[in-house]
Structure 1
Amino acid sequence: MPNGAFSQKEYAAIAVQFKNSNHYAAGTDAYNDQVDRQKASLKATLSKRPRDRQKQLQASAQAKLDKQSDKLKQQEKQLAKVPSGYQTTQTKAAKQELTAGKKKIAASEVQIKQIAKPTYMYNDRSTNPGYQDYFDESHSIAAIAIIFPGFFLFIAILITFSTISRMVEKNRREIGLMRALGYTKREIAMKYIVYTLLAGILGAGLGGVLGMLTLPQFVFSLLSNNNLTEFVGVIPWSYLAQTMVAGLIATLGSALIVLTINLREVPTNLMRERAPKAGKRILLERIKPLWSHLSFNQKVSYRNLFRYKGRMIMTIVGIAGCTGLILTGFGIQDSVNDLVPTQYEDVQHFQALVTVEKATQQVHADNIAAQKPVMVKSITARPTHGTANDTVTLMVPKTTTNFAKYVTLKSVATSKRLHLTNKGVILSEKLATDMHAKAGSSVNLQIGGKKVTAKVTGVTTNYAGHWLYTTQAYYKKLTGNSVQTTTRLVKTTHTKKAQREKLSRQLLKEKGVLNVSFPRYAASSLSTGGLGSVVLIMIVMSGALALVVLYNLTNINISERMRELATIKVLGFYDREVTAYVARENVIFTIAGIVVGWGIGLFLHQFIMVKAQTGSILFPMTIHYPGFIWSAVITGCFSLFIGILTHFKLKHIDMLDALSAGE
């Protein structure tokens, strides 16, 4: 813009670049700590600047006043030279102007002495909304990254451990033969150690690199806007190292444990088939009326459930983990989608904000049901410790009567209604968290350049934006100024887009109406951390992991019980009965896993949504019932798919090979 567009003569801001700031990645904790330290140092260096600037302003104003005073003195001298008998009407008028000028100078001198010290604000990049929103979104994604990779790794380790253990266990006879031929334990173990090392390094390395090269760019494309469009890929080697260590623990660790157990046995025991696990009476058998009504196949299935406790626990944990992750994904989606509706239905019940020129003015339109005069003002809140400030919307109603019809103030701690009093202010929940404030404590505010300390009488539930509510009397006590209620909280009878546009046109035609806004429908700009866009990835990946878990564990189950299944086929069981014999156990495991998974999902959802709170956003902790249904259905469909594959595999069991003696 041209200089002529600015009325002020002095520069109002200074852009500062700190030394060595390019050594830190923007947005990281190290960068923020460095900036905070430099800001504190700069503030200390310029601590005397407000007083010096005040003296400059006073001296400049006094210099101008002195020139005016000198002119008046000269006029006075000239008037004094005029004899009293020769004074004219002009002379008398000049004397009157001289007297008025002296009074004006005296008043100006008082004003110069009252010139306040200027307020210097030290803001960093985070005050740029577009810049900060991107990092807020990144932190929200990081909240998901705390949980999902950990659970994926845990379940992957669980499945890998089972697979490697089964592989070593299956080669017991070969290990025993090699022991009998004179191979040392170390030589025998090296075969499995090398195999598992290669599997762990190649699997974790390849998966880690591919994931880092693809997923971050995809997530960035979901978060990018007109200001941020260029993706700069970085491979965090520390994460890759952690992944490889986890992979080696799963592969190499499981091989070493099973090898250690097997290599302790003598070769003759190793070359024999391990005896099947003996069946035991279960608790259900002691409930005679129930047990007697079960069929033979059901009794066998229930016995087998508790016969292989390790596999039962592993299957339930694997399915529960996957179901929990899927439910968490749906829960995140629900919380993101419910943010705006919950804020403007459960907390703030007005539909429009209308700004008027005069505090006494009422607005009129066809579909206005009610209106409440308030003062709405943007202020700054400063924490007692730290340098980060929050921009807060201060709302002061003309009267507290019926204010609850427009804004619900409900205590976070007790869920009871809060009431505005002349003893302090009520803070929104996220603001109270940022300011480390609670009922009974104080909060530092800057209102119109004046720094004040307000007492907190309550913390109210709120989901979007930083809000502070108080009464006219307490506002005047804080600032010494009267409240100008030039904003109207408006409740309308219709809220469709066409009706909102019509209302805006009607109101803006009205004399004295300066602005009309609909906060709920402008809330699409709220930064929700891009969580909704990433949820689909998590659900798909969790579902794929559930498929792998079920297939792997079912495959291990069949391979371990091949002789048992071949035996019941020889005894005359049809293919469908053999499948039901195995599938019945998987159905029970799946149902148990889904129920446990729902509990895991509830915990993970709450943990992630708390971590995802950024800026002025506080997500509602909601998971709608379709999330529970879909997480169960997805897991159930995968279980059904695995059951179909299992059926065809069981049909082709070679009974002669399975039952032939190894000796």
Structure 2
Amino acid sequence: MTTAYLKTILREIWSSKARFASILLIIFLGVAFYTGIRATGPDMSQAAKDYYHQQRLATNSVQSTMGLTKHDTRALAQHQSQIITQPVKYLDVNQLNNNRVVRVTELPKTQQLNQLRVVAGRLPKAANEIVLDNQARQLQPKLKVGTTYRIVSTKALNKKLTRQTFKIVGFVNSPTYVENASRGVTNVGKGTLDYLVYVQPKTLKQSVYSRIDVQFKNLTNVTPYSARYRRLNRQNTATLKRWLKPQAKKRQAALRASASRKLVPLQTAVTGLQAQLPANAPQLVALQGKLKAAQAQVAAIKAPTYLYSDRNDNPGYTEYHENTQRVVALSTVFPLFFIAIAALICLTTMTRMVEELRLQMGTLKALGYSNTAIGSEFLIYGGLAALIGTVLGVAFGVNFFPRFIAQAYGSMYNLPAIHVQYLWTDIWVALAIALLCTLGTALVVLRVDLRSNPTQLLQPKAPKAGQTLWLERWQGLWRRLSFNHKITLRNLFRYKQRLLMTVLGIAGCMAMMITGFGLKDSIGDISTKQFNELWHYDAVVTRSGNETSAQRRALAKSNLYRADLKLLSKQVTIQKSGVAEQTATLGVPAQTAQLQKFVVLRNRKSQRADHLNATGAVIDEKLAKLYHVKVGDRLNVKLAGQAAKPVKISAIAENYVNHFVYLSPAAYRHTFGKRPVYNANLVQFNRASEQRANGYADQLLKHAGILNVTLMSTEKKTNFKMLDSMNLVVLIFVISAGALALVVLYNLTNINVSERIRELSTIKVLGFYDGEVTMYIFRENLILTLLGIFFGCFLGDWLHAYILQTAETNALMLSPDIHPLSYVYSGLLTLAFSLLVMVLMHWKLKRVNMLDALKSVD
């Protein structure tokens, strides 16, 4: 390649800056979106892996129904070559002074496992110092480093603490709880933990451990969530069970021996009385009866049950992985739209470039240049645009999209910031696709012209022949059309490739904007539908047992109170092999007929009301999707401390937040074999401010037996604060789709004008004004834009439904409806881009040199 020819190529790039920039920009957008979204899932997974490894997250945990002793720790200490262990003491407390359920956990002297990450302040050093879970700052903003923290509960629980007043010295995050909202379930208060607090050893008076955390060394360098990790974890759990299996009988024997020792004085007294009194003496008979009852109690002491769990049972651990997989799923859909549209536009652009340079190609051929040398101009032109676009796209996409999306998820999880990584496989794939879009399309277009001889190339290409339209046969309509409208319709169908490319390009961009706005609708509708249409209560009052008359008076005496419904409310777990365990709220109303006044159970599609029956349960729609069950199937429901029971599903009801299982009292007795204890009330208020509602809750908590008051206004604020961050992800879709739509419209319109510059110059010479010449093009663009908007609506519906299916979390169902205004906004944006492009084209058409454009090459 000569220097002169290289200069010719550079001049061509400079003289067609707009076309070169449009190809580069399309490649940039496609590559940035592809590499950025593709890197987000792995980046999020790597952040979790590094965090778990750094904080030494336990792989397994062991609990017992009777607590764990030093004999259990010694049994595990025999296997120190394979495991690291850390016994933990904790106490779940229902706070009566702040309406929160907290877990008070003693910190070990040396944190070998589950090391806390300090967010603010430091770890405690003195007995009166305490650190709080960082979630506490979200729930109780008044808590700060240096302030006093008091643990106030029932007298029985208060006695289990050596002190109740502490100084807050820091806030921490635990690797055990990576999810912000959930801290697991408990058997006190409302049934779920709000946050954790960590104290120095010897703060709790417990003689046994609550849990032993275990880390198997063979999993230290194994990637979490991988198939190998799951396989080794199953083996490790089986090994752990085998090691501790003998301990159950030993603990039973020890408990019986301890209880028997307490009976020694009683046995001695019986023996002494037998020597002094006759066998039928009332005093002796009574004492003997007491001894037999005590001995029966000793004999009835059962072996404790050991409970084994792993990381999958930690709130948020499994869901975080599922969210990363959802991002991976998204990365296979959206980038395809960008790549497909980029390929279409590049094909059109390179086709036009080849047609424009036919004269130059013929000249070079006549001068003796080879086909390779002639074609190299187009390959260098397209390859340079692809290469620069790819480099810029990778640099922007890999550094922007993962951080942006991870920040959106950051409100849901307390993991550290991610570190971006360059996935070279995806980068090479993106480069290959970019080169295919430019070089591949150039070669496809060149294959015909390079075979032509110089004489053919030096002749202008014959304009595309017109044809009779089917509309022309509709004489009644055709005769009423103006000349300009007839020309517009003929030109549309004359250039079918341009018609197809424009409609497909705009439809793709329209679909992505609809999906973006639709996601905003789906997220925003949850609050309205859940708290306004489905839940018609303002507070949940949780009690220790059945309602007393004093509690009834306290509940109803306030002028804030309007009505209430008694029900059994418990946290249950739903289990099925192959599906992540879910936590649900079991509700059993005392009066099933009154339930619909407080909770609307209805089919989402038909809006038909669902009712409780004597044998089946009503479950939420998301739960049914997760476990792939339908009406008539059975679902395993497990109450705390009991075996799972199969429950028949009688209806599947609309719901968006968390999971529920509703049973009638008869169905509850049929399933669990006992009568329900109505330990909660759903309460409706008269119109009330947040201040009055909090005052009502505080007054209720002063009464004995009332454990917790959950205000729905607080729940609404807490639950949907994290959803606000999802608007950032929506913004990505809308801006990216809008940018692509603008580039597509500009590029195609620019090509359209370039292709028909002689035609436009001709009508300008014939006396058309500048505005009329612009309208000559704009009418066609407007029709194509409207067609793209029309087909984009259907494509957007499909894409939105797919995104919802992949983007939902386990405890959340997004509303599947798209608001009509979202279609309007998307359409108006697309039309606005079309108008903007035509304004730019108007200025270009005004500067057209008609004499140069009409010069003949004959």
Partner of 1:406: 598
2:584 is aligned with 1:392: yes
Q: Which amino acid aligns with 2:288?
A: T
Separation of aligned partners in 1, 2:845 and 2:775: 11
Conserved? CA contact 1:410–1:461, under 8 Å: yes
Distance 1:121 1:444, change over 3 A: farther
| Local SS of the residue matching 2:794 | helix
Conserved? CA contact 1:209–1:240, under 8 Å: no
Q: CA deviation at 1:2?
A: 4.0
Partner of 2:512: 325
Q: Which moved more, 1:62-71 or 1:480-489?
A: 62-71
Separation of aligned partners in 2, 1:576 and 1:438: 62
Q: CA deviation at 1:357?
A: 4.6
Conserved? CA contact 2:757–2:853, under 8 Å: yes
Conserved? CA contact 2:579–2:626, under 8 Å: no
More helix by share: 1
2:203 is aligned with 1:9: no
Q: CA deviation at 1:488?
A: 0.8
Q: Which moved more, 1:158-167 or 1:59-68?
A: 59-68
Partner of 2:295: 106
| Local SS of the residue matching 2:584 | strand
Q: Which moved more, 1:143-152 or 1:234-243?
A: 143-152
Separation of aligned partners in 2, 1:53 and 1:262: 85
Q: CA deviation at 1:599?
A: 1.8
Conserved? CA contact 1:50–1:120, under 8 Å: no
2:823 is aligned with 1:596: no
Partner of 1:368: 561
Q: Which moved more, 1:13-22 or 1:427-436?
A: 13-22
Give unpaired runs (5+ residues) of structure 2: 1-198
Q: Which amino acid aligns with 1:169?
A: E
Partner of 1:174: 360
Distance 1:528 1:150, change over 3 A: farther
Select 2:621's aligned residue among 424, 429, 451: 429
Partner of 2:546: 359
Separation of aligned partners in 2, 1:118 and 1:630: 60
| Local SS of the residue matching 1:15 | strand
More strand by share: 2
Q: CA deviation at 1:209?
A: 2.5
Select 1:38's aligned residue among 232, 236, 245: 232
Partner of 2:856: 661
Separation of aligned partners in 1, 2:638 and 2:505: 53
Select 2:251's aligned residue among 32, 40, 57: 57
TM-score normalised by the chain length of structure 2: 0.71
Separation of aligned partners in 2, 1:116 and 1:426: 36
| Local SS of the residue matching 1:17 | strand
Q: CA deviation at 1:125?
A: 5.7
Separation of aligned partners in 1, 2:243 and 2:665: 34
Q: Which moved more, 1:195-204 or 1:137-146?
A: 137-146
Separation of aligned partners in 2, 1:557 and 1:326: 25
Separation of aligned partners in 2, 1:498 and 1:435: 41
Q: Which amino acid aligns with 1:111?
A: A
Q: Which moved more, 1:512-521 or 1:631-640?
A: 512-521
Conserved? CA contact 2:237–2:308, under 8 Å: no
Partner of 2:402: 216
Separation of aligned partners in 2, 1:352 and 1:564: 73
Separation of aligned partners in 2, 1:136 and 1:524: 25
CA displacement, residues 219-240 of structure 1 (integer Å, 9 cap, x when unaligned): 3334435933433121222222
Conserved? CA contact 1:139–1:612, under 8 Å: no
Conserved? CA contact 1:141–1:529, under 8 Å: no
Q: CA deviation at 1:573?
A: 1.3
Q: CA deviation at 1:190?
A: 3.1
Select 1:148's aligned residue among 327, 334, 337: 334
Separation of aligned partners in 2, 1:658 and 1:20: 76
| Local SS of the residue matching 2:309 | coil
| Local SS of the residue matching 1:446 | strand
Separation of aligned partners in 2, 1:518 and 1:139: 34
Separation of aligned partners in 2, 1:237 and 1:447: 49
Conserved? CA contact 1:137–1:529, under 8 Å: no
Distance 1:126 1:218, change over 3 A: farther
Q: CA deviation at 1:464?
A: 0.8
Q: CA deviation at 1:217?
A: 2.2
Separation of aligned partners in 1, 2:650 and 2:217: 43
Q: Which amino acid aligns with 1:372?
A: L
Q: Which amino acid aligns with 1:504?
A: A
Q: CA deviation at 1:465?
A: 0.3
Separation of aligned partners in 1, 2:270 and 2:416: 71
TM-score normalised by the chain length of structure 1: 0.91
Separation of aligned partners in 2, 1:24 and 1:633: 51
Q: Which amino acid aligns with 1:6?
A: L
Conserved? CA contact 1:348–1:407, under 8 Å: yes
| Local SS of the residue matching 2:431 | helix
**Correspondence list, 1:185-584, <5 A:** 185-225=371-411, 227-361=414-548, 362=552, 363-364=555-556, 365-383=558-576, 385-386=577-578, 388-411=580-603, 416-451=608-643, 452-494=645-687, 496-508=689-701, 512-519=705-712, 521-526=714-719, 528=723, 530-584=725-779
Separation of aligned partners in 1, 2:403 and 2:255: 58
| Local SS of the residue matching 2:207 | coil
CA displacement, residues 257-316 of structure 1 (integer Å, 9 cap, x when unaligned): 001122233332122110111111212212112211211111111111111111011111
| Local SS of the residue matching 1:388 | strand
Distance 1:25 1:532, change over 3 A: farther
**Correspondence list, 1:45-84, <5 A:** 45-47=239-241, 52-68=246-262, 71-82=265-276
Q: Which moved more, 1:332-341 or 1:423-432?
A: 423-432
| Local SS of the residue matching 1:489 | strand
Conserved? CA contact 1:139–1:614, under 8 Å: no
Give unpaired runs (5+ residues) of structure 1: none
Conserved? CA contact 2:540–2:680, under 8 Å: yes
| Local SS of the residue matching 2:493 | helix
Q: CA deviation at 1:196?
A: 2.6
Separation of aligned partners in 2, 1:589 and 1:192: 29
Q: Which moved more, 1:230-239 or 1:61-70?
A: 61-70
| Local SS of the residue matching 2:428 | helix
Separation of aligned partners in 2, 1:36 and 1:529: 34
Distance 1:419 1:53, change over 3 A: farther
Conserved? CA contact 2:761–2:853, under 8 Å: yes
CA displacement, residues 28-49 of structure 1 (integer Å, 9 cap, x when unaligned): xxx2534432332233334557
Q: Which moved more, 1:394-403 or 1:475-484?
A: 475-484
Conserved? CA contact 1:375–1:485, under 8 Å: yes
Distance 1:222 1:68, change over 3 A: closer
Conserved? CA contact 1:450–1:479, under 8 Å: no
Q: Percent identity?
A: 35
CA displacement, residues 444-483 of structure 1 (integer Å, 9 cap, x when unaligned): 2221211122222222221110111112222223333321
